[in-house]
Amino acid sequence: MIHISTTLDLDLVNNPRKSIINSKEIVRQFQNNSWLKGEGAIYVLVDQVQNPGEFIYVGSSTRVKDYPHVTIKGGMNRKYSYKWIHHLPIYAQLEAHFITFGNVLDFPAVQSYLPKATLKEQVMTFIETIEAEIVYAIREKTGKWPKYQNEIHFHTQLAQDELIKKEINQTMKILRL
């Protein structure tokens, strides 16, 4: 497991695209921490300005060729962008936690659960399993869902696997949930 905690400095003015101002600095953090692209990642966004400490959104990235902040940048600019984009100031700062869990092939339960799935589908399901457990833990701790969470996908059978439970528990400790 690799965890990177950083600040996302966002420019949410459409000129012509919304951007992550400190994108190059974030890439250096990934590179300095031996982050491997394509293994899937969870990202947890926390407000730093309007309601400090409030969980905004939990998402996942399974992009093979990019670091996970590229998924966030893409989601800020697509036709149906993240809901949270429209509720932040023009220049915003979010605390971001990026977590990756290594090669999905190290978790035999995933292959048992999805024996005919492609590697990409297995990675997506594995990451969604952990993402859902994080979202649920946030609700358990705070009494509410992350502020702009739209959907989650539970895979309860995978969440019961001992190796996957270990990853979930380590993630909860990192996020203090």
- How many other CB atoms are found less than 10 A from the CB of residue 128? 19
Instruction: List, for residues 132-147, the tens digit of each pLDDT value.
Output: 999 999 999 999 999 9
Beta bridge partners of 57: 45
Residue for token digits 């690799």?
Answer: 2
Gap between the Cα atoms of 166 and 95, Å rounded: 24
**CA dihedral sign, ordered 151, 82, 46, 162:** positive
Q: Which two tokens stand for residue 41?
A: 């990642």
Beta bridge partners of 66: none
Q: Is the pLDDT of residue 64 over 70?
A: no
Q: Is the pLDDT of residue 162 over 90?
A: yes
- Roughly what angle, to the nearest 10 degrees, separates helices 23-32 and 68-77? 160
Q: Is the pLDDT of residue 14 over 80?
A: no
Q: What is the DSSP string of 48-105?
A: SSSSTT-EEEEEEE--SSS-HHHHHHHHHHSTT--GGGGGS-SEEEEEEEEEE---GG
- 2-11 and 41-47: which strand pairing? unpaired
Q: Is the pLDDT of residue 29 over 80?
A: yes
Q: Hey, what amino acid is at 47?
A: D
